[in-house]
Amino acid sequence: MSKHTDYEKRTEEMITPILDELGFELYDVEYVKEGQDYYLRAYIDKDGGITIDDCVTVSRRMNELLDADPSIGGDEGYIFEVSSPGLGRVLKKDKHLTKAIGSDIDIKTYKPVNGAKEFTGKLIAFDKDTLSVEFDDGNETFSRADIAQIKLSIDF
């Protein structure tokens, strides 16, 4: 397990009791390098959506715990952020896909499938290896190993 994965796992363990108390859900945690800075991001959600005040409340409570625990970030340090996963949220985990069944999704593949690398359709099913999507002209099954990204589709 990489140190980044360890940081994400430890953050999940620390933030979950706070979110449970507030009635929020942990959507995802990521520890990433952007430019010269490292970011530790917690994405939270709840029925009806997350507000800026919700993010501030969780951030303040979590910062107290993070400041007291030097096991995250090591010498490189990080910037901690709390955010909503957004409307066009990335669907990384099976629990995200389960909630998205019947919803329109955008898929980007690593290599062309039937001549294209981007698709929009309705998620109808998935398992550990495949994703089944309904299009206007029929259904298509994608290998999850071929998928670079899955997001909820935003239709304006």
pLDDT digits (tens, 9 = 90+) for 11-24: 999 999 999 999 99
Answer whether residue 156 shows pLDDT above 80. Answer: no
Among residues of the chain, what percentage have pLDDT more than 70? 98
Asked whether the whole model's pTM tops 0.85, one would answer no
Arithmetic mean of pLDDT, 95-114: 94
94-152: CATH topology: SH3 type barrels. (2.30.30)
Residues 142 and 127 sit within 8 Å (Cβ to Cβ): no
Strand partners, 120: 106
State the number of CA atoms in the 13 A half-sphere of 153 facing the CB. Answer: 17
Residue 76 pLDDT greater than 80, yes or no: no
The single-letter DSSP state of residue 87 is: T
Amino acid 154: pLDDT: 86
The domain spans of the chain are 3-83, 94-152
The predicted-structure confidence for 136-155, as pLDDT tens digits, reads as follows 999 999 999 999 999 999 87
Among 104, 106, 101, 149, smallest CA distance to 125 is for: 101
The 10s digit of each residue's pLDDT in 15-54 is: 999 999 999 999 999 999 999 999 999 999 999 899 999 9
pLDDT of 75 higher than 80:
no
- Candidate CATH numbers 3.30.300.70, 3.40.50.1240, 3.30.420.40, 3.40.30.10; the one for domain 3-83: 3.30.300.70
Q: What are phi and psi of 78, to 5 degrees?
A: -165, 165
Q: What band does 1 get if pLDDT is binned at 50, 70 and 90?
A: low
Q: Take residue 9 and report the two structure tokens written for it.
A: 């796992």
Return the SS3 of 35.
coil
Average pLDDT of the segment spanning 52-74:
89
